[in-house]
Amino acid sequence: MATAETTVRKSEFANEAFVDFTRPENKASMEAALKKVAAEFGKEYPMYIGGEKVYTTEKMASTNPSHPSQVIGVFQAGSKEHADKAVEAAWKAFETWKKVPAEERAECLFRAARIVRERKFEISAWICYEVGKSWAEADGDTAETIDFLEYYGREMLRLIGPQPVTPMKGEKNFMVYIPLGVGAAIPPWNFPAAIATGMTAAALVTGNTVVLKPSEEASVVAAKMVEVLYEAGIPKGALNLVTGAGEIVGDALVKNPKTRFITFTGSKEVGLLISEAAGKKVPGQIWIKRTVLEMGGKDATIVDDEADVDAAVEGVAQAAFGYQGQKCSACSRAIVSEKVYDSFVQKMVERAKKVTVGPSEDPNNYMGPVASKTALETVLGYIDVGKKEGRVLVGGDRAPGDGYFVQATVIADVDPKARIAQEEIFGPVLAVIKARDFDHALEIANGTEFGLTGGVYSKNQQKLEKARDNFYVGNLYLNRKCTGAMVGAHPFGGFNMSGTDSKTGGPDYLLLFLQGKSIAEKLQ
């Protein structure tokens, strides 16, 4: 139990600066890292259970979506038994890890941040190859990883020791935060370093132990991050890595009676399955499993008739096509006032035509591939639906190359209730919807089951005020793009079917991994 007053003093949190790739030395460093990493393609990565390296007979491969025949790495096809064993091992480690002073646990995160900073280009190169991020997007992922480590380390220091309670005469009272126990961390592939590391680090720094089950599409980057955390001093038993299929390993972790909490980021469909399974008491279970679920979005940007249309076009284009539209925060609906609709559409078409697509290791390509063959089929399927639901003005097809490339696609005149205006596509597809006025635009924006990010472009303060009050999203952005949340500055998480509004990178986040213990002593 943490009782000591904080003795460690850290400088105030500041976001990691992004790499400027226009500088020749940075460009050269990235090129060298891409070369170095490519020489390691095909390497096999073990699972880690209770500190032991574990190998399975059956293997899985992680491939490069820019060049699908390239095997980035080979990992283990874990089973339910591996998941169960890892939960047992994590409980064993919990007995010692929970007693490690919180300052020391935080220090592990600060050390991990330093290691990631030192290996920045190498980690970004792995991200670029494994999930098809451009240099800038990969660097953003790496920088956010550093930010989560630095921020959660500091947050833990803030939460150490007795928390203030109302004094009561004749009693000595206080409350302390203690860890929950063993948690399952189940991240998606789209922020393979930042999300996997962020959720894992938050659970660990609060004194819990973890079984991490990474995405099948991003298991190499996850293995690299686990190695970083071990090097930084996290005991092997406290962090277990079990790779494999989500429906097997993930499902087993969720249903295990000894799993105390689940931190998940991914699709609405899987999030709901987890919510349901975790809510069902199974034999041997003595607690209500806590779930932290961050899910999908159908994010909109409102372009008002009093907006700077050029700024809106740029913001929407970046949010719609950055990382091929594969961010939960991506703008997939532009809701445009009828007075500026034609001008917006014309400018957006010109802007989208400039989007270059191709292998992500080539810095001339703004967009790389979508993540997998399944993703490609899903996105193209939605584009086909979109051809019937609106007017395709740009794109609408695959882009050349053997990778999973899709053209930046703009579909205009879409009905607010059309499928492509309601369902998460997770690809570079923007639906443009016409609104009569600002109130109508807000009504359309709020008219989906999601509530993650939203943007508004307007010069009218009263309309911005109205959006502040009535645009029902976890992250609202005024006169700027709706992607690119910064740790600390923009705590991130959504409403409704976008999740449990667990605000990552914010002051409430670590509390999701803790429980308060209130202690009252009658003075003699």
* DSSP at 95: H
| Given 150, 216, 299, 389, the residue binding ligand NAD (CB under 6 A) | 216
Span of 55-63, 107-115, 210-218, 435-443 interacting with ligand NAD by CB under 6 A: 210-218
| Closer residue to ligand NAD in complex, CB, 262/313 | 262
Can you state the angle between helices 461-470 and 438-445, rounded to 10 degrees? 30
500 binds ligand NAD, rule: CB under 6 A: no
* C-alpha pair distances (Å), 4 with each of 41, 103, 160, 178, 246: 47, 10, 7, 13, 40
Which of the stretches 162-170, 229-237, 268-276, 355-363 binds ligand NAD when contact is defined by CB under 6 A?
268-276
Single out the residue of 205, 295, 429, 431 in contact with ligand NAD (rule: CB under 6 A): 295
165 to 434, 512, 517, 521: CA distances (angstroms) = 52, 20, 12, 13
Residue number with CB closer to ligand NAD (82 or 213) = 213
Q: What is d(CA 494, CA 478) in angstroms, rounded to the nearest whole number? A: 17
Q: Is 186 in the site for ligand NAD (CB under 6 A)?
A: yes
State both tokens at 344.
């917006």
Stretch near ligand NAD under the rule CB under 6 A, chosen from 66-74, 175-183, 244-252, 506-514: 244-252
Half-sphere exposure of 14 (CA within 13 A, CB side): 5
Position 250 contacts ligand NAD (CB under 6 A)? yes
Q: Give the integer Cα–Cα distance in Å for 125 and 169.
A: 60
Question: Residue 219 in contact with residue 226, Cβ under 8 Å?
Answer: no
Q: Does 359 bind ligand NAD (CB under 6 A)?
A: no
CA angle 215, 220, 225 (to 5 degrees): 95
Q: Which is nearer to ligand NAD, 121 or 129 (CB)?
A: 129
Helix, strand or coil, per DSSP, at residue 224: helix
Positive or negative torsion for Cα 233, 239, 241, 246: negative
Query: 270 or 464, CB closer to ligand NAD?
Result: 270
Is 246 one of the binding residues for ligand NAD (CB under 6 A)?
yes
Task: Considering the complex, state which of residue 165 and residue 476 has its C-beta at the smaller distance from ligand NAD.
Answer: 476
Out of 90, 254, 376, 445, name the contact with ligand NAD by CB under 6 A: 254
Q: How far is CA 410 from CA 121, 359, 430, in A?
A: 33, 21, 5
Q: Strand 391-394 relative to strand 409-412: parallel, antiparallel, unpaired?
A: antiparallel
Distances (CA, A) of 248 to 82, 84, 245, 276: 10, 11, 5, 16
Contact region with ligand NAD (CB under 6 A), list: 9-17, 126-134, 248-256, 307-315 = 248-256
Q: Which of 382, 426, 438, 457 binds ligand NAD (CB under 6 A)?
A: 426
Which range binds ligand NAD by CB under 6 A, 86-94, 198-206, 211-219, 412-420? 211-219
Catalytic residue among 294, 361, 389, 424: 294
Q: Is 291 in the site for ligand NAD (CB under 6 A)?
A: no
Among 15, 267, 378, 446, binds ligand NAD (CB under 6 A): 267
Instruction: Give the residue among 278, 282, 361, 317 at the shortest CA–CA distance from 66.
Output: 361
Contact flag: residue 296 with ligand NAD (CB under 6 A): yes
Residue with Cβ nearer ligand NAD (66 or 190): 190
Gyration radius from the chain CA atoms: 23
| 41 token code pair | 């393609």
Q: Does 270 bind ligand NAD (CB under 6 A)?
A: yes
Joined together, the tokens standing for residue 96 give 């010692």
User: Which residue is listed with tokens 């992500």?
Assistant: 360
The single residue among 65, 297, 396, 488 that binds ligand NAD, judged by CB under 6 A, is 297
Instruction: Mark whether 423 is an active-site residue.
Output: no
16 lines the binding site for ligand NAD (CB under 6 A): no
Residues 309-328 interacting with ligand NAD (rule: CB under 6 A): 328
- To the query of whether residue 122 is one of the catalytic residues in this protein, the response is no
- CB of 187 or CB of 396, closer to ligand NAD: 187
Query: Does residue 438 contact residue 466 with C-beta atoms inside 8 Å?
Result: yes
Give the three-class secondary structure for 121.
Answer: helix
With CB under 6 A as the contact rule, the residue among 274, 302, 334, 376 that binds ligand NAD is 274
Provide the sign of the torsion angle of the four alpha carbons 112, 115, 120, 122, taken in this order. negative
Among 132, 181, 266, 395, binds ligand NAD (CB under 6 A): 266
Binding letters toward ligand NAD, positions 431-470, x by CB under 6 A: ---------------------x------------------
- Of 265, 301, 407, 409, the residue at the interface with ligand NAD (CB under 6 A) is 265
Please name the residue that has the structure tokens 């999930």.
131
Among positions 84, 141, 150, 294, the unique one binding ligand NAD when judged by CB under 6 A:
294
Number of H helices, E strands in the chain: 14, 19
Four-CA torsion 62, 66, 69, 75, nearest 10 degrees: -10
Q: Which of 328, 331, 361, 482 is catalytic?
A: 328
Nearer to ligand NAD, 426 or 457 (CB): 426
The 10 Å CB-count burial string (b at 16+, else e) for 449-483 is ebbbbbbbbbeeeebbebbeeebebbbbbbeebbb
The residues in 102-141 that bind ligand NAD, with binding defined as CB under 6 A, are none
Catalog residues that contact ligand NAD under the rule CB under 6 A: 186-191, 195, 213, 215-216, 246-247, 250-251, 254, 265-267, 270, 273-274, 294-297, 328, 424, 426, 452, 494, 498-499
As annotated, the active-site residues are: 294, 328
